[in-house]
């Protein structure tokens, strides 16, 4: 089973208590199975804490949103290679079953979408690097602007 994403776990921890120190966040994240250096977890914790504080300053209330609650705008196209979908290890739910039940269709759509991205990127490690690049840019829109810039430079 792959380790949970650092940013997802850190966001959940800080949404529960934004006043935790970075060391406390690191301990809690490692207890939840996050694999990564203390430095990278600390960096992520500071960035997410800053983002959450900005949201609080704007008057938005912090609320924990389980990963299963996110939905895509349109269902992804089916993946043509069925062998890609064959699991070699048992699938283990990371979210309690009662959270998954109402949004099972959204969860399955997201899994199919991520599977498509992993295939397009050539593996889970490459897909993780893309996700981290999007996060580092601040938003999908910012990442796409940088992508257009790089594409223009590389094609010239």
pTM of this structure: 0.40
- Three-state DSSP at 146 gives helix
For 61-76, give one letter per residue: b (16+ CB within 10 A) or e.
eeeeeebbeeeeeeeb
Helix orientation angle between 140-155 and 124-137, rounded to the nearest 10 degrees: 110
Taking the CA atoms of the chain, what radius of gyration do you get in angstroms? 17
9, 32 in Cβ contact below 8 A? yes
Cα separation, 130 vs 144, in Å, equals 12
pLDDT digits (tens, 9 = 90+) for 7-53: 888 889 988 888 889 999 999 989 988 888 889 889 998 998 888 88
Ramachandran category for residue 17: left, alpha or beta (phi over 0 → left; psi -120 to 50 → alpha): beta
Looking at the chain, the whole-number percentage of residues with pLDDT higher than 90 is: 5
Max Cα-Cα span within the chain? 53
């Amino acid at each position: 089973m792959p380790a949970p994403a650092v940013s997802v776990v850190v966001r959940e921890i800080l949404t529960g208590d934004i006043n935790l120190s970075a060391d406390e966040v690191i301990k809690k994240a490692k207890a939840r199975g996050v694999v990564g250096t203390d430095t990278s977890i600390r960096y992520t914790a500071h960035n997410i804490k800053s983002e959450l504080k900005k949201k609080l300053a704007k008057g938005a209330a912090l609320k924990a949103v389980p990963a299963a609650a996110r939905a895509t705008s349109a269902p992804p196209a089916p993946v043509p290679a069925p062998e890609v979908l064959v699991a070699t290890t048992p699938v283990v739910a990371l979210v309690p079953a009662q959270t998954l039940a109402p949004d099972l269709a959204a969860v399955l759509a997201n899994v199919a979408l991520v599977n498509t991205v992993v295939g397009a990127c050539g593996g889970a490690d490459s897909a993780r690097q893309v996700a981290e690049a999007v996060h580092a840019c601040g938003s999908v829109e910012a990442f796409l602007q940088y992508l257009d810039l790089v594409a223009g430079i590389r094609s010239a």
